[in-house]
Amino acid sequence: MSPTVAEMLAEARRRFTEGGIADPATDARLLVAGLLKQSSTELLTRSTEKLSREQAGEILKALERRLAHEPVHRILGEREFYGLPLGLSAETLEPRPDTEILVDTVLVYLKDLAKAEGHLHILDVGTGTGAICLALLSECPEASGIGSDISSDALRTAKSNAERNGLQDRFQAVESKWFENIQGSFHAIVSNPPYIASNVIHDLAPEVTKFDPVAALDGGPDGLDAYRAIAKDAASFMRPDGVVGLEIGYDQRNDVTAIFEAKGFRCLKSVKDYGQNDRVLVFALA
């Protein structure tokens, strides 16, 4: 006999609770709603509806994947970021809410620059899903952007996400290690680079270690390699009035600031995340 929506939701919550999932109720709701293509409200209003055998089977398989620590949004294959639905792939990080703080912070500067400059040009280094660049483009109709990455899989995903959100005419995906294949000058250079020290990656949650691409996590022995690479060449690709906006690890503000100051930058702003940890730095040429 086929279960109802409510019965399947209860079963998911029970299994996740017994399986030690950190937030079983939320994950059960997100997963079941996502697979049924329903909103949270619809889960309630349609709770007595019977599921088809195919629907029930798909959900049961997904529960097993979550119990093996695969994140909910990886199972669903997409996640919303800054109001944009974004597809995920094997070589992209799942965009997180803390990264929206980088978008919020950089947008303030871009809005001011747009008044003075008209058209804006953005570079997102290590673009992954394209999340940061696409969010900025969606909020700044005056802007066009380049998303660079070393992963062809990530670039395909970013390009697909641009098309999905109607931003393909203002977004270009470029395969490049740091600035190697980049041309032009930019009003904003943004990045959420790998910033975890190599020797602590294995200590992270299995949701990260088993499913996030290592190349997007590993920041070298001290976690700062990416910031050194960006600071080394960023000035050559910046407009005189441009900014560099970076996501950082919770304990990296002083080190990253020192790296950029040594290359002729000054820190304009430091912003904390929702947990009150340092999360975003913005630099300009000194």
57-86 pLDDT per residue, tens: 999 999 999 999 999 999 999 999 999 999
Name every residue whose Cβ is closer than 8 Å to that of residue 112 and which is 6 or more positions away in sequence. none
Cβ distance 5 to 28 under 8 Å?
no
Please give the pLDDT value at position 139.
Answer: 96
Residue 95 has pLDDT above 90, yes or no: yes
CA atoms within 13 A on the CB side of 185: 7
What is the band of 216 on the pLDDT scale with cuts at 50, 70, 90?
confident
Residue 155 has pLDDT above 80, yes or no: yes
Closest by Cα among 170, 171, 169, 101 to 129: 171
pLDDT digits (tens, 9 = 90+) for 14-36: 999 999 998 999 999 999 999 99
83-106: b (≥16 Cβ within 10 Å) or e: ebebbbbebbbbbeebbbbbbebb
- H or E element: which one contains 284? strand 278-285
Residue 122 has pLDDT above 90, yes or no: yes
Mean pLDDT, residues 262-285: 96
Token pair in block for residue 3: 């279960």
pLDDT digits (tens, 9 = 90+) for 156-199: 999 999 999 999 999 999 999 999 999 999 999 999 999 999 99
- H or E element: which one contains 144? strand 143-149
Residue 115 has pLDDT above 90, yes or no: no
pTM attached to this predicted model? 0.92
Cβ distance 15 to 63 under 8 Å?
yes
Give me the phi and psi of 51, to 5 degrees please. Answer: -85, 150
Please give the pLDDT value at position 215.
Answer: 87
Residue 284 has pLDDT above 90, yes or no: yes
- Whole-number Å distance between alpha carbons of 238 and 146: 13
Residue 1 has pLDDT above 80, yes or no: no
Please give the pLDDT value at position 11.
Answer: 95
